Amino acid sequence: MTNKRVTLDWIKDLVESGDISQFYKTKTWCELARRKRKAEHNECERCREQGRHSPCEAVHHKKYLKKYPELALDYDNLECLCADCHYDEHHKREQLNEERW
């Protein structure tokens, strides 16, 4: 993890350069993501809403980091997602039925 001081200007620079991966390596982000996972019992929030249980594989920005860098560390802008829900979010895969086929 990097000890870089996380500032809005730095995040905007990362977005502009196309390399936001550095943000996700910061101690600040890792701690916030850990806190979110713990609060959600390491479960996917979307699956839980549908009565399913899946492990959280990603802490996702509801309002995307690239478009809303000012919300990068806003706890209320985060949600825990399983790999399938995270993929669906970013690829807008249409769900045909509950079993996703």
Q: Is 43 helix (H, G, I), strand (E, B) or coil?
A: strand
In order of 26, 46, 54, 59, the CA distances from 29 in angstroms are 5, 22, 23, 10
Domain boundaries, the chain: 8-91
Q: What is the structure's pLDDT at 97?
A: 54
Q: What is the structure's pLDDT at 5?
A: 81
Task: Please give the chain's pLDDT, 101 residues, in tens.
Answer: 555 688 999 999 999 999 999 999 999 999 999 999 999 999 999 999 999 999 999 999 999 999 999 999 999 999 999 999 999 998 875 555 555 55
The single-letter DSSP state of residue 30 is: H
